[in-house]
Amino acid sequence: MINLTFSTLIMFISTIPEFIALVMCAINFRKKRYLHYLYMFATWFFLWLGNLLLAIGYLTLNLVVYKVGLLVTIPLTFFIMLLVDSISRESIEPFKLSIVMIVSTLAFAFGLEKNVVALNVSKLGEVGPIVVGRFNYALAASFLVSSVLWFYYFLVLYLKSPKNLRKIASINLLGAIIGGPLAGLVYASGIVWYLPGTDYFLIAIGALLTTYSFSKEPKLGYILPFKVSRLLLIDIESGLPLFSHTWDNSGLVDSYLFSGAIHGITNILNESLHKGLVKEIRLEEASLIIKASEEKDYPVAFVLITNKTSAILSQSLDLLEKNITRTIPKEKIEEITINQSSNLESYIESAFPYVVSYT
C-alpha cells in the first residue's frame, strides 16, 4: 500500500536540503581538515538517513522501517554536542556529555520496546505512523537537548563575532533558530499532529543554513575557542622585533617594549635554570606561545599572543617557523621583514587561515 500524502511529501522533500548539507560538509572537510566539518557531516548524515527511513516508513506504512528511522536519528544529539564543543573548547565537557548520554541511552532503550510505533489518523485525516509511550518522551528529551545546544552556542558565536563576520554569523544563527527552537515549538504545539514531518523539514532548513554559513566563512568555527591578538618575530640575539602581525590591537603595548621584555625573561630563565628556551608563558587572561627556530644558526623566535592556548595554534606556529626558515635565508630575514613585509603576510595567512581578525 502506497500512502502518498502531503506529510509524506514533506518528509521526502526534507531529505533534499539535508543531502545538500551533507555533500557540502564532505567537500569542506576534504578541502580543510577542520574537525567541526567532520562532526557536522556525521550530524547531517544521521539526520538525512533517519529522515529518509521515516519517509519510506510513512509512504509504505511500515512501522518497522519508521521505528528504525527514529532510532537512527538518536545519535544526532551526540554529534551536535561534539560539533558545538569543537567550535567552543579544546575538549568535551563532561557534564554535557553525561546529559547527552543519559537521554540518548533512554531513547535507545525505550525504542527497543514493543508497540512504540502505531498507526494514527492525523487531524487532516491522513494515515501514518506515530510514536507512543515512553519512547515518545525520550525522543522529545533528546530533541530538546540537541535544540538547546544548537541554539545556545550559535547565539554565543553570533554575539562574539566581529563586525566583518556578523552577517554570515546571523545566517548561521537563523539556521539554529529554525532547526532548534522553531522546530521544537512546532513539535510541542502539536502542529506535527496536523502535518507530521514539519519538524524535520525545519531541522533540514536549519542544517542547510548552518552548513552554508560555515562553508562561506570557515572562521566561524574559531571565534569561540580562542582569540589571537598578535604574532611577533623577534631577533633572539638582540631582542629587537623583526616583524609584527596584529589580529586584535586592543590592549597591546609597543612591539619594541614587548619583545624586549620577552627577550629578558627568556634569557634570565635560561641562564638561571639551564633547561632550554621558554616555550609558553601563561597569564590569567592570556598566553604566549613561543617557538624558537629549530635551526641553531637562525636567531629568530616566533611569539604568538592569545587568550587561550590550543593545539592547532601550536601546530600552525610550528608550520610558520618551518616555512620561513626553509625558504628565507638567515642573512636576508631582517631585510625581508623590513622591506618586504607583504611576503611574510602571505606566510602568516597560509599558516593561520582560520584566525579571526578584530582590527
- Whether the Cβ atoms of residue 87 and residue 243 lie closer than 8 Å to each other: no
User: What type of residue sits at position 149?
Assistant: L
Could you tell me the residue ranges of all domains in the chain?
6-222, 228-351
* Cα–Cα distances in angstroms (integers) from residue 256 to residues 32, 234, 320, in the given order: 36, 9, 21
- pLDDT on residue 275: 67
CATH architecture of 6-222: Up-down Bundle (1.20)
| 204 vs 273: CA distance, rounded Å | 59
d(C-alpha 347, C-alpha 217), whole Å: 20
Do 81 and 96 contact (CB within 8 A), yes or no? yes
Alpha-carbon Rg for the chain, nearest whole angstrom, is: 26
CB atoms within 10 A of CB 272: 8
Task: Output the 3-class SS for 14-59.
Answer: HHHHHHHHHHHHHHHHHHCCCHHHHHHHHHHHHHHHHHHHHHHHHH
Please give the pLDDT value at position 331: 66
Helix locations, the chain, DSSP H: 6-31, 35-60, 63-73, 75-86, 94-111, 134-160, 166-177, 183-188, 191-194, 198-216, 255-273, 311-327, 333-339, 341-351
Specify the CATH class of 228-351 in words.
Answer: alpha beta
| Number of alpha carbons in the 13 Å side-chain half-sphere of residue 318 | 7
Give Cα separations from 18 to 70, 174, 200 (angstroms): 16, 16, 10
Cell numbers representing residue 70 in the block = 527514529
Q: From the centroid of its chain, how far is CA 137?
A: 29
pLDDT, residue 333, reads 66
Cell of 87: 567550535
**CA angle in degrees (0–180, nearest 5) for 323-328-332:** 150
Q: Which of 142, 143, 110, 116 is nearest to 129 (CA)?
A: 116
Q: Alpha-carbon distance 300 to 125, whole Å?
A: 75
pLDDT tens across the length of the chain (359 residues): 688 888 889 999 999 999 999 999 999 999 988 999 999 999 999 999 999 999 999 999 999 999 999 999 999 999 999 999 999 988 889 999 999 999 999 999 999 998 899 988 877 788 888 888 899 899 989 989 999 999 999 999 999 999 999 999 999 999 999 999 999 888 877 787 777 788 889 999 999 999 999 999 999 999 999 999 999 888 877 778 888 888 988 766 677 777 777 777 777 766 776 666 778 888 888 899 988 887 777 788 899 999 988 889 999 999 998 888 888 776 666 665 544 555 788 889 999 999 999 87
**Cell, residue 350:** 597560509
CB 259 within 8 A of CB 241: yes
Task: Decide whether 6-222 matches 228-351 in CATH topology.
Answer: no
**3-state SS class at 307:** coil
Q: Classify 218 as helix, strand or coil.
A: helix
User: 110: buried, middle or exposed (CB in 10 Å: 19+, 13-18, 0-12)?
Assistant: middle
